[in-house]
């Protein structure tokens, strides 16, 4: 039996598999297919201060390389989230990584403060700080593509979240030097990094000769971005190993459909793996990927998941 437990900051999780933010709302629907408490953690849709309806429709388009979305952070707002969604997740015994977002650094801090005050906060194993949504004004560039503003958001959120609850900065692949943003976030207090959010893209309906998406551009997710995610995880892990930034855990996300896909991210340096778009085709994908990854490690003769994290860098 492979020991699949993994460490994320101050927390040890039973296994490294998680949902990706936004692909399974707050868990109720997935729970009809499998027990969400079996996951290392359940990552919720990013929640902001107020309820939001998001961008105009159509908001999803399929492409041969994956899915484009321009949802625009639709959500119930933090108050409804702490009154309904988080207590439900706690009631089924889930380990939760709420994802938070904001239009300003102070909005992020406010959302974190309300979250912390929730009676159900005990189920929270970490907070994912989504500074990289491609579908908001300025396409998220204000935060995720600029070390200074990214650092400001992280520093303010860090002040609101208890020290023993790690915070993870979710980064965009749409940057020239992802290690610079990663280093700035860690210096500002991030205990870990989630890489990557969707890649900014668009597609055009050649019958109507207009963009498919109401919001014109959208975030690309699915198989086409997996190599981008593997590259981002590798580069940041290398920066840590070379002493260019402090070492913190990385959560890898981007186009994972199988245990083999997950293994790529882990070997590149990820201590946990999120499954998103694959769940639309197969709602059991997160637990299936866990099973497949466990089987692969067993086959390869590993005793623990930890041994495999970053193994492709050839340090061992
Ligand atoms: O692709 C994305 N879509 N990434 C996000 O961070 C948020 C989401 C949305 O709601 O637009």
Write out pLDDT tens, residues 275-296.
999 999 999 999 999 999 999 9
> In the prediction, which pLDDT does 143 show?
78
Instruction: Report whether residue 219 contacts ligand 1, using a CB cutoff of 6 Å.
Output: yes
Question: Cβ(172) to ligand 1 under 6 A?
Answer: no
Q: How far apart are CA 138 and CA 269, in angstroms?
A: 30
Contact 76, 85 (CB under 8 A): yes
CATH number for the domain running over 6-313 = 3.20.20.70
Condensed to tens digits (0 to 9), the pLDDT of residues 94-121 reads 999 999 999 999 999 999 999 999 999 9
Q: Which pLDDT belongs to residue 23? A: 94
Locus of tokens 């390389």? 65
Statement: residue 137 has pLDDT above 70: no
> 286 — phi, psi (to 5°)?
-60, -45
The answer to whether residue 133 is catalytic is yes
Q: What are residue 205's DSSP bridge partners?
A: 210
Taking alpha carbons only, the member of 280, 250, 284 closest to residue 267 is 250
**Least confidently predicted of 30-39, 41-50, 64-73, 129-138:** 129-138
Calculate how far, in angstroms, residue 194's C-alpha sits from the geometric centre of ligand 1: 14
20, 22, 153: residue to mutate for ligand 1 pocket, most atoms within 8 A of CB: 22
Phi and psi at 213, nearest 5°, equal: -90, 140
What are 181-208's pLDDT values in tens digits? 999 999 999 999 999 999 999 999 999 9
Atom of ligand 1 nearest to the CA of 101: 6
277/54 Cα distance (integer angstroms) = 19
**Least reliable range by pLDDT among 6-15, 141-150, 301-310:** 141-150
CB 117 within 8 A of CB 151: no
What pLDDT score was predicted for residue 142?
67
Q: Which atom of ligand 1 is nearest to the CA of 99?
A: 6
Q: Which helix (H) or strand (E) holds 201?
A: strand 199-201
How many angstroms separate the CA atoms of 64 and 41, rounded?
Answer: 30
Beta-bridge partner residues of 68? 61, 220
- From the CB of 72, is ligand 1 less than 6 Å away? yes
């Amino acid at each position: 039996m492979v020991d699949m437990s993994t460490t994320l900051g101050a927390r040890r999780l039973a296994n490294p598999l998680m949902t990706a933010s936004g692909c399974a709302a707050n868990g109720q629907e997935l729970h009809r297919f499998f027990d969400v408490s079996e996951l290392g953690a359940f990552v919720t849709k990013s929640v902001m201060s107020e309820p939001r309806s998001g961008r105009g429709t159509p908001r999803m388009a399929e492409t041969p390389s994956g899915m484009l979305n321009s949802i625009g952070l639709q959500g119930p707002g933090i108050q409804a989230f702490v009154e309904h969604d988080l207590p439900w997740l706690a009631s089924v015994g889930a380990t939760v990584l709420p994802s938070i977002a904001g239009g300003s650094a102070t909005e992020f801090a406010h959302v974190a403060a309300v979250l912390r005050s929730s009676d159900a906060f005990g189920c929270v194993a970490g907070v994912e700080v989504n500074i990289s949504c491609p579908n908001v004004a300025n396409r998220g560039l204000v935060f995720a593509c600029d070390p200074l503003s990214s650092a400001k958001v992280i520093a303010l959120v860090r002040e609101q979240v208890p020290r023993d609850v790690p915070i993870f900065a979710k980064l965009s692949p749409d940057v020239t030097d992802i290690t610079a943003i990663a280093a700035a976030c860690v210096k500002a207090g991030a205990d870990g990094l989630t890489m990557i959010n969707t890649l900014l893209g668009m597609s055009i309906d050649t019958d109507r000769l207009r963009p498919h998406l109401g919001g014109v551009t959208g975030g690309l997710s699915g198989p086409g971005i997996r190599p981008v995610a593997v590259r981002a995880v590798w580069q940041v892990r290398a920066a840590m190993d070379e002493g260019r930034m402090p070492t913190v855990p990385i959560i890898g996300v981007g186009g994972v459909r199988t245990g083999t896909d997950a293994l790529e991210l882990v070997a590149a340096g990820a201590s946990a793996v999120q499954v998103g778009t694959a769940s639309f085709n197969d709602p059991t994908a997160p637990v299936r990927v866990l099973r497949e990854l466990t089987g692969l490690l067993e086959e390869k003769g590993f005793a623990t998941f930890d041994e495999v994290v970053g193994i492709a860098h050839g340090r061992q």
